[in-house]
A and B are shown apart, each in its own frame.
Chain A
């Protein structure tokens, strides 16, 4: 008897309405895979509702590799070398840190079109303790030339990343998120290709750059600041963390009075922006909100862990208030 993902029933018709970010990715992947026979899905025994439908519809292109991430990544590289487009799925630390060398040598150095679908960015698995926290994966992946790193903030972004697998043949690390989120409204039509999108046009000269689902906290914080002060910064969501976009992003940074980078992980985007701004001799004051460089041994819900890391919505409101107040002082 075949027992298939007993924890997750098939989504069936409900899939079309999925607002869960992870399901949106796998639903789109299934659609793409119907048209593109090169797509093969590998999982390190990690589930998702939408995987049930992929497995039942395309059993010959679905492989549960067991809890063997090293083998999964190198098998994916072997498949990709023969023209397949493998997607290897697992929890963030296990498909990044544990397999860093396989990713470097077998995927990135070989420039093979393997997609790592990583779930559990930041404190997604907050109660699971530090083995499951996704604070380090992007910093580690940034050490790897030729690896594209994509971070999702809403179902629209995860869907877009799934579509790219068939059209843009690159090594890529895609960070998914579980649970529903509203779609950001991005004002640039070409946000997918340019690697970032403005999600809030502010009325102050300040700029907040963020990435991943913490962008929703930034948006709520910005609403609160607007309510209290009648002023709010522009907010940009960067989804392409590597290669760092150069399509206009640094021109906006250079025009801003100050820039705050908010990320739910150890410094990664903040470091990249700081490095590149320095290279470009951009003198705008930069500040950063990120997970402090320490291990979080405790388990708690995401809000608790974010508060402990100084990344709660209240923390962000307070930083934005300081930001817009500085503008006021400069104006006096």
Chain B
């Protein structure tokens, strides 16, 4: 069976579409939200949660091995919430009252089912993930830790402290996805304060690096094709993405970072996604 067929049969594409739609609905209901950087990570989250490569099942508890996921770019919380709605951890109704004094804020807290850490201030997640991975290595567990960072987040120096630490200690049980949408709030990273070659930065920090299209579920699937040794190098996946992906009027625009769509634009966007 071809890779496309596998994805279709496992329903990943359909899940990604539903998650994207749920993000739009939640931000529209709230009147504001981090749309651009949430829409750019939909396929990455879909892959992490539903491809079967990571054991993020809520039924897992301390007596069974489970993997860990951290959303380090916490401003994309609504994408995580929509994914947790898709997995059944959060009710859609709860998400639709985001930012109204109930459970869900624009950045995640550990009060939310399925969320392990506070995030929203950038540059913490990779260190936290490295700590989890180190604990698992000490315990000789085969649990893996996955963390998702933004490329703009990589301006934070603490990211590189953590990157160096993880490779030095050969935390092969650690996988970092970098959402390479190339934009921060006020423009393109390459115009504002260029990273140069981001993949090379991770390589020189001692990581195994893969570069792929972060919206292509087949490419994401292929990134996990080879078995990984928990004693090897940590893996960084440079996922090229488009900020605002899936909504024409938002795609590739820095102003999609935060806000909401007007009613007519929202309806058009839903229609663009196939209703």
Chain A interface residues toward B at CB < 8 A: 40, 60-61, 63, 65-66, 68, 70-71, 73-84, 86, 101-102, 105-106, 109-110
Could you jot down 30 A-B contacts, CB within 8 Å?
A40-B138, A63-B134, A65-B165, A66-B164, A68-B164, A68-B165, A71-B130, A71-B158, A71-B162, A71-B165, A74-B124, A74-B131, A75-B127, A75-B128, A75-B131, A75-B162, A77-B127, A77-B131, A78-B129, A78-B132, A78-B134, A78-B135, A80-B131, A81-B132, A82-B136, A84-B135, A84-B138, A102-B158, A105-B124, A110-B110
Pairwise interchain contact B124-A81, C-beta atoms closer than 8 A: no
Residue of A with least CB distance to B109? A109
User: Does B155 lie at the interface of the complex (its beta carbon under 8 Å from any beta carbon of A)?
Assistant: no
Closest-CB distance, A223 to chain B (whole angstroms): 48
Residues of the B chain whose Cβ atoms lie less than 8 Å from the Cβ of A79: 131-132, 134-135
- Complex partner residue of B116 from A40, A70, A81, CB under 8 angstroms: A81
Listed residue (A60, A63, A78, A109) with the most chain B CB atoms within 10 angstroms of its CB: A78
Closest-CB distance, A39 to chain B (whole angstroms): 11
Pairwise interchain contact B131-A110, C-beta atoms closer than 8 A: no
Pairwise interchain contact B138-A60, C-beta atoms closer than 8 A: yes
Residue of B with least CB distance to A82? B135
Pairwise interchain contact A70-B161, C-beta atoms closer than 8 A: yes
The 8 lowest CB-CB distance pairs between A and B, nearest first, are A78-B131, A74-B127, A82-B135, A71-B161, A75-B131, A68-B161, A70-B158, A78-B132
Residue of B with least CB distance to A65? B165
Residues of the B chain whose Cβ atoms lie less than 8 Å from the Cβ of A82: 131-132, 135-136, 139
Instruction: Given A65-B165, A109-B118, decide whether A78 and B130 contact each other with a Cβ distance below 8 A.
Output: yes
Closest-CB distance, B224 to chain A (whole angstroms): 23
Closest-CB distance, B107 to chain A (whole angstroms): 10
Contact residues on B (Cβ < 8 Å of other chain), bracket: 20 to 34
Listed residue (B116, B131, B132, B164) with the most chain A CB atoms within 10 angstroms of its CB: B131
User: Does B195 lie at the interface of the complex (its beta carbon under 8 Å from any beta carbon of A)?
Assistant: no
Residues of the A chain whose Cβ atoms lie less than 8 Å from the Cβ of B136: 82
User: What is the CA–CA distance of A119 and B208 in the complex, to the nearest angstrom?
Assistant: 37
Pairwise interchain contact A110-B118, C-beta atoms closer than 8 A: yes
Residue of B with least CB distance to A86? B131
User: What is the CA–CA distance of A71 and B164 in the complex, to the nearest angstrom?
Assistant: 10
User: Does B117 lie at the interface of the complex (its beta carbon under 8 Å from any beta carbon of A)?
Assistant: yes
Residue of B with least CB distance to A75? B131
User: What is the CA–CA distance of A60 and B139 in the complex, to the nearest angstrom?
Assistant: 11
Pairwise interchain contact B127-A71, C-beta atoms closer than 8 A: yes
User: What is the CA–CA distance of A77 and B118 in the complex, to the nearest angstrom?
Assistant: 11
User: What is the CA–CA distance of A84 and B139 in the complex, to the nearest angstrom?
Assistant: 10
User: What is the CA–CA distance of A74 and B139 in the complex, to the nearest angstrom?
Assistant: 19
Listed residue (B130, B133, B138, B157) with the most chain A CB atoms within 10 angstroms of its CB: B138
Closest-CB distance, B73 to chain A (whole angstroms): 15
Residues of the B chain whose Cβ atoms lie less than 8 Å from the Cβ of A81: 116-117, 128, 131-132, 135
Closest-CB distance, A90 to chain B (whole angstroms): 14
Listed residue (A66, A106, A109) with the most chain B CB atoms within 10 angstroms of its CB: A106
Residues of the B chain whose Cβ atoms lie less than 8 Å from the Cβ of A106: 117-118, 124, 127-128
User: Does B223 lie at the interface of the complex (its beta carbon under 8 Å from any beta carbon of A)?
Assistant: no
Residues of the A chain whose Cβ atoms lie less than 8 Å from the Cβ of B169: 63
User: What is the CA–CA distance of A208 and B135 in the complex, to the nearest angstrom?
Assistant: 45
User: What is the CA–CA distance of A86 and B132 in the complex, to the nearest angstrom?
Assistant: 12
Instruction: Given A102-B124, A106-B124, decide whether A74 and B135 contact each other with a Cβ distance below 8 A.
Output: no
- Give me 6 other A-B pairs in contact (C-beta within 8 A), A71-B162, A82-B131, A82-B132 excluded: A63-B134, A66-B164, A74-B128, A74-B158, A101-B121, A102-B124
Residues of the A chain whose Cβ atoms lie less than 8 Å from the Cβ of B158: 70-71, 74, 102
User: What is the CA–CA distance of A110 and B117 in the complex, to the nearest angstrom?
Assistant: 7
User: What is the CA–CA distance of A106 and B158 in the complex, to the nearest angstrom?
Assistant: 13
User: What is the CA–CA distance of A17 and B124 in the complex, to the nearest angstrom?
Assistant: 41
